[in-house]
Amino acid sequence: MTASFPTPAGYRVLERRDISAIVAEVDTLADKLGGTPDDWETSEISDGNMNAVFRVSGPEGSIVVKQALPYIRVIGEGWPFPVSRIAFEAEALERQLAALPGSVPEKLHYDESLGLLVMEDLSGYRVARLAFVKGRRFANFAEDMGAFLAHTLYRTSDFHLTTPQKKALAAGFAGNSHLCQTTEEVIFTGPYGERPFNRITEGNEEIAVRLREDSALKQAASEMKLAFRTKSEALLHGDLHTGSVMVTDTETRVIDAEWAFHGPMGFDPGALIGNLLLAAISQPGHADAADDRRAMTDWLLETAKRVWIEFDRGFRRLASEDRSEIFPHDILDAAARDAIVDRHLAAVFEDMVGFAGAKMIRRILGISHVEDFEAIGDVAMRAQLERHALRVARRLLLERREIADMDRVLAVLAEER
Amino acid sequence: MTASFPTPAGYRVLERRDISAIVAEVDTLADKLGGTPDDWETSEISDGNMNAVFRVSGPEGSIVVKQALPYIRVIGEGWPFPVSRIAFEAEALERQLAALPGSVPEKLHYDESLGLLVMEDLSGYRVARLAFVKGRRFANFAEDMGAFLAHTLYRTSDFHLTTPQKKALAAGFAGNSHLCQTTEEVIFTGPYGERPFNRITEGNEEIAVRLREDSALKQAASEMKLAFRTKSEALLHGDLHTGSVMVTDTETRVIDAEWAFHGPMGFDPGALIGNLLLAAISQPGHADAADDRRAMTDWLLETAKRVWIEFDRGFRRLASEDRSEIFPHDILDAAARDAIVDRHLAAVFEDMVGFAGAKMIRRILGISHVEDFEAIGDVAMRAQLERHALRVARRLLLERREIADMDRVLAVLAEER
Ligand SMILES: Nc1ncnc2c1ncn2[C@@H]1O[C@H](COP(=O)(O)OP(=O)(O)OP(=O)(O)O)[C@@H](O)[C@H]1O
Ligand SMILES: Nc1ncnc2c1ncn2[C@@H]1O[C@H](COP(=O)(O)OP(=O)(O)OP(=O)(O)O)[C@@H](O)[C@H]1O
Ligand SMILES: [Mg+2]
Ligand SMILES: [Mg+2]
């Protein structure tokens, strides 16, 4: 696809058997595991597309070791990819931790030359997307993710930072541009044309052709691409789908910020809400005699709505408590400041709706499909549910300027059922 | 105001008498002047607020030497200002030259440690603002400035650059953040409150109080401030008022890009058009028995309109001729690409109108007034014309979403006369 990227001096791709020797060199990690390297067990747990992820378990504890490969793991050397992405993941992890302690795994170690990030092992957690496929609900999900969005986006935005702080932050992530470029291609452009890795479920060939000829839709997706490239509003996670969230019954953690950059505030909530809508729409495909998945569907839709509401509420609260330089209190009273925040959030909502639509389409017509649909064995059923998602997503993109709130988003979903 | 900034190693403030020795050390400069340093004449020509500017003339030619001082020249050491700004000016000058050859003075030499930029002497040129005060018209002004805007903004935007190119460009100017912060304060905030250097013409105290209590207006100005801080659409000149343009009867050159940064595309045309409107509104104050300045007023208004039209036309042409990566031709046909450009330019126009309004107000209620009004000896007349400008500017800010084109802008001006 592209020329390869330079790897750091001393970089090499690690095998499972290499890991323990490297961990042993870092006292804090060895202490955490306990015993000696001979007591340690390393297993590969990569279930994503991009990187190699290992769990190392010792007598006293376990850790997770993530190595960025110089290519996309599931594709191989034919698709080179910069190892430097993990530096941005490590940096974003720290920013997220600072913005909302407890929202991400603890960072234990970072090795630039090996492209290695070692984290707290979220053992007992599961990937939210897979849990949703199984029909599991999580009481704190919306509140936790709303708070994560509010804190990480607010505290890295011009609402909170001074201009020099914000510009330095944005510039510090400018080097993650190859990942941005990839996002732009696979989300806003690739799904609408012939691309080597695009895949379409059998039975959806016709709707795919129709959407790919839909000029208004392609223009809307392209406008979201332009917004993605030009708005520098907050430090984004950059890939906040339900596969980047790990959960227990009571806890929620965000992982995998390798796509982080300073961009449009609507992108992260759009990714999350778009993927919650996909989860909801896919539920009938997972129904069985014991569970028709109606309650699960309702919970997912309600959760999508509440994620926005909690984000919106949290953002407003942070803004009202903050005495930042951008809108000085001697010039603007509280009502004026609230009104500015209000209009800003309305603009973010519009972007969120557009990004959600684009994210939904790319998971069905593009390169990277999701377990929500892939796990549906009945291909005709899967195709039918995907078409529902495509119709909803198309309307989100086209009607994003008119859709005023999450109730309207959910109404579109019901209308297209 | 702020702590002082580190100066480069070896930096010192140069006196007029120091200049020739420094010039003599650079062969290309010495050759340009001809003769020996004893034949050279140095004069200070600073007429702006910020820097020291000298002209050095020799038997064979002349050059202009600009030194950034570690403070604002007209205020002194009480307002420290980073010398580094001239590095950004030098870099912007090269980008402008590359975007549209002949639009800026030639760059002859740059000395980082002395904060020195040496340029082609635009002898025979005059500052456009001062020429407008004198009632002079320039046949190519609108076309040249429209072309300057189209080329510099297009070629530094996501329409033309790849994502890595654009992000590297934006990051490269992130260090000019103290100047951005100053712009934000003096344009969008300072004019609406009590600030040490604000100045109001006698007779305008009442309208100043009214505008400073106008919450909707202050919110609009604040929203433009947020746009200024969050949109990264093109490399801006950053201070493109009529005092940054030098003209002859046939030629137009842009100078003084020290405020350059990657920001909202509407800001440069807003600065220029706002200042052309100020020039037009001020004309009755310069009328005398020989010239009622009606024709001059009409020419300025027509020029303001044509600057936008030429920019708009130029931008569309560049976009239609370019085969850039952002909107691939296999996905989007020419009509779709044109529609995207069309909506983008509508959004830029809205920003332009808001920025123009903000720029007009700051020149009347804020720290830095303009010769267009200052040169009007009759204070009552000056105050009255300034009130006209304030009423127009207020409506531009408040009605920027409804104002569809330059005819409407000019209609607002007529309605408030
Ligand atoms: N801190 C952790 N604790 C426990 N498990 C983890 C942790 N980090 C990652 N995992 C597991 O490893 C998997 C892959 O991690 P991650 O998503 O960071 O890798 P990736 O290769 O970047 O994936 P993607 O293709 O989604 O980009 C996760 O889905 C999760 O199952
Ligand atoms: N290349 C040039 N050729 C001829 N005259 C020039 C040139 N550059 C600057 N000047 C003259 O010097 C003046 C000051 O230059 P410039 O605007 O770059 O300085 P400044 O201190 O940054 O001003 P400002 O306060 O507007 O920021 C100009 O208004 C113009 O009269
Ligand atoms: Mg990942
Ligand atoms: Mg200047």
DSSP string for residues in A85-125: HHHHHHHHHHHHHHHSTTSSPPEEEEETTTTEEEEE--TT-
pLDDT of A3 strictly over 80:
no
Is there an atom of ligand 2 within 6 Å of B119 CB? yes
pLDDT value at residue B1: 44
Asked if residue A10 is part of any domain, the answer here is no
CATH number at residue B395: 3.90.1200.10
CB pair distance less than 8 Å for B215 and A181: no
pLDDT value at residue B23: 98
Asked if residue A9 is part of any domain, the answer here is no
Say yes or no: A171 and A88 in one domain. Answer: no
| Res. B3 pLDDT band, cuts 50 70 90 | low
d(CA A238, CA A263): 9
Asked which of A120, A144, A160 is the last residue of a domain, the reply is A120
Q: Report the residue from B164, B218, B328 with minimal CB separation from A336.
A: B218
Cβ neighbours of A219 in B, within 8 Å? 332, 336, 339-340
Asked if residue B73 is part of any domain, the answer here is yes
Across the range A110-114, mean pLDDT stands at 98
For Cα atoms B131, B132, B137, give the angle at the middle one, nearest 5 degrees: 90
Q: Is there a contact between B281 and B357 (Cβ–Cβ < 8 Å)? A: no
Say yes or no: A175 and A88 in one domain. Answer: no
Question: Around ion ligand 4, which residues have CB less than 5 A away?
Answer: B 50, 256, 258
Q: Which residue pairs, CB below 8 angstroms and at least 24 apart, start in A32-37?
A: A32/A58, A32/A60, A32/A61, A32/A63, A32/A108, A33/A57, A33/A58, A33/A59, A33/A60, A33/A61, A33/A62, A33/A63, A34/A58, A34/A59, A34/A60, A34/A61, A35/A59, A35/A60
Single out the residue of A344, A129, A373 nearest to residue A246, CA to CA: A129
Interface test with chain A among B187, B229, B315, by most A beta carbons within 10 Å: B229
Say yes or no: B147 and B101 in one domain. Answer: no
pLDDT (tens digit, 9 = 90+) per residue, B164-216?
999 999 999 999 999 999 999 999 999 999 999 999 999 999 999 999 999 99
Pick the atom of ligand 2 nearest to B119's CA. Answer: 1
Asked if residue A7 is part of any domain, the answer here is no
pLDDT (tens digit, 9 = 90+) per residue, B121-134?
999 999 999 999 99
Asked if residue A283 is part of any domain, the answer here is yes
Asked if residue B3 is part of any domain, the answer here is no
In degrees rounded to 5, what are phi and psi of residue B403? -75, 115
| Res. A115 pLDDT band, cuts 50 70 90 | very high
Cβ neighbours of B222 in A, within 8 Å? 326-327, 332, 336, 340
Say yes or no: A343 and A253 in one domain. Answer: yes
State which residues form the domain around B20.
16-120
Single out the residue of A240, A86, A224 nearest to residue A149, CA to CA: A240
Instruction: Please name the residue that has the structure tokens 């960025």.
Output: A68
Q: Report the residue from B166, B175, B181 with minimal CB separation from A162.
A: B181
Q: What is the pTM of this model?
A: 0.98
CATH number at residue A100: 3.30.200.20
Across the range A359-371, mean pLDDT stands at 97
Across the range B325-349, mean pLDDT stands at 98
pLDDT (tens digit, 9 = 90+) per residue, B60-106?
999 999 999 999 998 999 999 999 999 999 999 999 999 999 999 99
Say yes or no: A288 and A194 in one domain. Answer: yes
| Res. B146 pLDDT band, cuts 50 70 90 | very high
Asked which of B98, B120, B142 is the last residue of a domain, the reply is B120
Is there an atom of ligand 2 within 6 Å of B243 CB? yes
Say yes or no: A83 and A168 in one domain. Answer: no
CA atoms B230, B235, B239, B242: torsion sign: negative
Sequence-distant (≥ 6) Cβ neighbours of residue A27 within 8 angstroms: none
Asked which of B99, B120, B141 is the last residue of a domain, the reply is B120
> How many domains is chain A built from?
2
User: Which amino acid is located at B320 in the chain?
Assistant: S
Say yes or no: B135 and B93 in one domain. Answer: no
d(CA B413, CA B395): 9
CB pair distance less than 8 Å for A177 and B167: yes
| Res. A1 pLDDT band, cuts 50 70 90 | very low
In degrees rounded to 5, what are phi and psi of residue B288? -145, -175
Say yes or no: A354 and A217 in one domain. Answer: yes
Asked if residue B228 is part of any domain, the answer here is yes
| Structure-token pair, residue B131 | 């020429």
Q: What is the CA radius of gyration of chain A?
A: 21
Say yes or no: A295 and A201 in one domain. Answer: yes
How many residues does this entry show for chain A?
417
Q: Is there a contact between A293 and A276 (Cβ–Cβ < 8 Å)? A: no
CB pair distance less than 8 Å for B219 and A332: yes
Q: Is B316 on the interface with A (CB under 8 A)?
A: no
- For residue B125, the SS3 value is coil
d(CA A357, CA A83): 30
Asked if residue B8 is part of any domain, the answer here is no
Considering chain A, what is the average pLDDT of its residues? 97
Which 326-355 residues of chain B touch chain A by CB within 8 A? 326-328, 330-333, 335-336, 339-340, 343-344
d(CA A384, CA A378): 10
Q: Is B226 on the interface with A (CB under 8 A)?
A: yes
How far apart are the CA of B116 and the nearest CA of chain A, in angstroms?
24
Q: How far is CA A27 from the centre of its chain?
A: 32
Pick the atom of ligand 2 nearest to B258's CA. Answer: 22
Q: Is B27 on the interface with A (CB under 8 A)?
A: no
Cβ neighbours of A218 in B, within 8 Å? 331-332, 336
Cα B342 to averaged position of ligand 4 atoms, centre (Å): 33
Say yes or no: A152 and A221 in one domain. Answer: yes
CA atoms B118, B120, B124, B128: torsion sign: negative
Q: What is the C-alpha end-to-end distance of chain B, expressed in Å?
A: 38
DSSP code for B8: P
pLDDT of B2 strictly over 60:
no
Parallel, antiparallel or unpaired: strands B116-120 and B107-111: antiparallel
Sequence-distant (≥ 6) Cβ neighbours of residue B339 within 8 angstroms: A215, A219
Single out the residue of A157, A378, A172 nearest to residue A286, CA to CA: A378
Considering chain B, what is the average pLDDT of its residues? 97
Sequence-distant (≥ 6) Cβ neighbours of residue A112 within 8 angstroms: A8, A87
Pick the atom of ligand 1 nearest to A119's CA. Answer: 1
Is there an atom of ligand 2 within 6 Å of B238 CB? no
Strand partners, A234: A263
Nearest CA in chain B to A193: B331
pLDDT value at residue A49: 87
ipTM of this model? 0.97
From residue B279, alpha-carbon distances to A273, B41, B254 in Å are 50, 34, 18
pLDDT (tens digit, 9 = 90+) per residue, A179-200?
999 999 999 999 999 999 999 9
CB pair distance less than 8 Å for A332 and B168: no
Is there an atom of ligand 2 within 6 Å of B122 CB? yes
Which 187-216 residues of chain B touch chain A by CB within 8 A? 189, 192-194, 215
B240, B255, B275, B369: which to mutate for ligand 2, most atoms within 8 A of CB? B255
Q: Which H, E and C letters describe B326-340, residue by residue? A: CCCCCCCCHHHHHHH
Say yes or no: B42 and B150 in one domain. Answer: no
Say yes or no: A211 and A304 in one domain. Answer: yes
pLDDT of A413 strictly over 70:
yes
Single out the residue of A381, A199, A361, A194 nearest to residue A270, CA to CA: A361
From residue A147, alpha-carbon distances to A150, A234, A274, A292, B54 in Å are 5, 15, 18, 31, 56
Q: Is B13 exposed, middle or buried (0-12, 13-18, 19+ CB in 10 A)?
A: middle
d(CA A355, CA A149): 15
Single out the residue of A356, A357, A282 nearest to residue A130, CA to CA: A282
